[in-house]
Structure 1
């Protein structure tokens, strides 16, 4: 009886949360066709499973009451062993529900495939995403600008995100617009999203990647086309702070600038442990090396705008990790630009397909 009461309370709590009483649940407050579709699939699956859960809870309560020790009028059948009707219900209903869920899973996997372009009368906006050490870098190849920890795009316009990592494996996620997808060094993944209306959405990393993981969040701004054009022009002119006063405006994002975006070498506790170990061992060289390390930041990297971007910067980041497969260093962008581009096309062909 105690377990039954706990089950009822748990279901009541979940129901309250799903109806919005628990606050702004972003997964159920979608602002785009992909996020809305995925949210509908999730709720459909929950409703189907409740077809089993709710009757089971009701019957458990009813059976406990009807066959309680004080009820002398309840039927007593110690030799009862089988009921065809019960077997049909117990096995038939779950089989039907599982079949429906299987079909929904197959249909939803194809309908909301992150690699599948969205249908629209507008041309998609391409945004290249680089997961850097505890921050997100967004490159707009068509506009020739870049940002750190902020992304802006026009409403009702398909977004084609091309994603990689210049660090450990990570996961790119804007919950209100759609599902997450991994960012991996030496690889390129795709994600297609769209916002139905203007707004500010929370973006994050949904994959633990180290001590600075909690700092990897950003704001995604859905704005009108006129506001987007105005913002792009302001950033290109070096006046991005006129749109966002809290941002930092810089010039070109090239390889040298990209290298400065790696924050720290170890966490504060790791550095202290290395210093203590070197002192205990009397190793002056290791001590000097440990003391020279910079700790990971304890707050997010400030929003930064770049008025221009080094050509093929995104491809260069991918090729840097593919040099072992092609027998050469493809990180150079000047002398070997065309070769690096060809190597990247080969390395990511399977992903693009």
Structure 2
């Protein structure tokens, strides 16, 4: 009976994972070829495993009923010890299923490799977007368009998108479930993710790796739009009118390393402490310090969407190079940084 309960709980856990704990079947509502392939692999693996789970549940219930103490018609064989047929089934079926699952895992890991370009899926030019995981927010840099955003990314539908991903603090994970699997973001390193959206839409993106007290606020929206809408949005952002496309967004100027450093700090405590300074006629320093300590540097909601009309050249490479001395040591690190910066752009 315990095995039956565990099997039911396992199926319930699988259902919860498929819904993404958000009420809708996110992982089954794929909007791109990569996510569709991964979803198909996952469901095929689940169906294969159910070939063992379902019969096991049925047999557990049936055996409990058939061999109950009150059933005097049940066969009683105290000397029974071996059955070749049973041995073939209990060993043969799992071996076959494991072999199939192993082949699927090998094939799928190559077919849906996040580093594998999707040029064959579309005749359009690939759009490069650089992703920087900042403390409890995501920064997106468009190197060709020379703009940047915080907590929002836009790209044309039916266009391959190549995400170049790094981190400007601890290890993190970049995840848009309806488009592709998650990929890690690590300081001083660059990972890659290729996606393509089949149709226009708005998809949920978030951090899939615990990276600190405020990581739950690392949420963003991925907008798949038509090519004309994307071109207009880029033009509006470059002209300082990006808020026309998003009333809740903030439009500002250039994004460089200094600005990037300033947005690393938590905003909640700073804003509320500034309010205390303005409201109090004679603010006491110890009260302000106590309030800052109580609030902490962590946000209680995602950083507002922010558009930057220009971006410092090679900002993404410079963020990576900040951490290269950790790998190469202080001696000769400048030369190593230059070599890594050159390879990072490839």
Length-normalised TM-score, structure 2: 0.85
User: Does 2:43 correspond to 1:46?
Assistant: no
Aligned partner of 1:272 in structure 2 is none
Q: Judge conservation of contact 1:32–1:177 (CA < 8 Å) in 2.
A: yes
Q: Which secondary structure state, in structure 2, belongs to the residue aligned with residue 307 of structure 1? A: strand
Separation in 1, partners of 2:239, 2:17: 46
SS across alignment from 2:71: coil
- The equivalent of 2:176 in structure 1 is 174
Relative distance call for 1:38 and 1:52 in structure 2 (3 A) is same
CA distance in 1 between counterparts of 2:68 and 2:154 reads: 63
Once the two structures are TM-superposed, the CA of residue 142 in structure 1 deviates from its matched residue by 0.6
CA distance in 1, matches of 2:14, 2:106: 27
CA contact (8 A) 2:268 2:299 kept: no
Residues 265 and 294 of structure 1 are in contact (CA less than 8 Å); yes or no, is this contact kept in structure 2?
no
Q: CA deviation at 1:6?
A: 3.0
Give matches, 1:64-75, under 5 Å: 64-75=64-75
Question: Aligned pair in 2 of structure 1 residues 5, 44: CA closer, same or farther (>3 Å)?
Answer: closer
Cα distance, 1:60 vs. partner?
Answer: 1.1
Q: Which runs of 5+ in 2 are unaligned?
A: 271-285
Gaps of 5+ in 1: 269-283, 331-335
CA deviation vs aligned residue, 1:19-56 (integer Å, no higher than 9, x gap)? 98x93121111111111110110000000000011111
Is the Cα–Cα contact under 8 Å of residues 315 and 340 in structure 1 kept in the other structure?
A: no
Is contact 1:163–1:183 with CA below 8 Å preserved after alignment? yes
State the alpha-carbon separation in 1 of the partners of residues 267 and 248 from structure 2.
Answer: 27
Which position in structure 2 is the counterpart of 1:333? none
1:344 is aligned to 341
Q: Secondary structure at the match of 2:132?
A: strand
One of 312, 315, 319 as aligned partner of 1:313: 315
Shift of 1:205: 0.4
Shift of the 328–16 alpha-carbon distance from structure 1 to 2, 3 Å rule, reads closer
- Partner residue of 1:87? 87
Count of residue pairs the alignment pairs up: 322
Provide Cα deviations, 1:261-291, integer angstroms capped at 9, x if missing partner. Answer: 11239999xxxxxxxxxxxxxxx9xx99x96
2:280 matched residue in structure 1: none
Structure 2 counterpart SS, 1:162: strand
Q: CA deviation at 1:343?
A: 3.3
Does the C-alpha gap of structure 1 residues 94 and 5 become closer, same or farther in structure 2, counting only changes over 3 Å? closer
CA contact (8 A) 1:136 1:218 kept: yes
Aligned to 2:217: 215
Moved more, 245-254 or 4-13: 4-13
Partners of 1:259 and 1:251 in 2: CA distance: 15
Change (3 A) 1:102 1:291: closer
Q: Distance in 1 between matches of 2:297 and 2:96?
A: 55
Match of 1:31 in 2: 31
CA shift for structure 1 position 297: 1.9
Q: Do the aligned residues in 1 keep the contact of 2:251 with 2:307 (CA within 8 Å)?
A: yes
- 1:316·1:340 contact (CA, 8 Å) conserved in 2? no
What is the distance in 1 between the residues matched to 2:113 and 2:59?
A: 40
- Per the alignment, residue 6 of structure 1 pairs with 5
| Deviation (angstroms), 1:295 | 2.1
* Matched residue SS, 1:126: strand
CA distance in 2, matches of 1:123, 1:102: 35
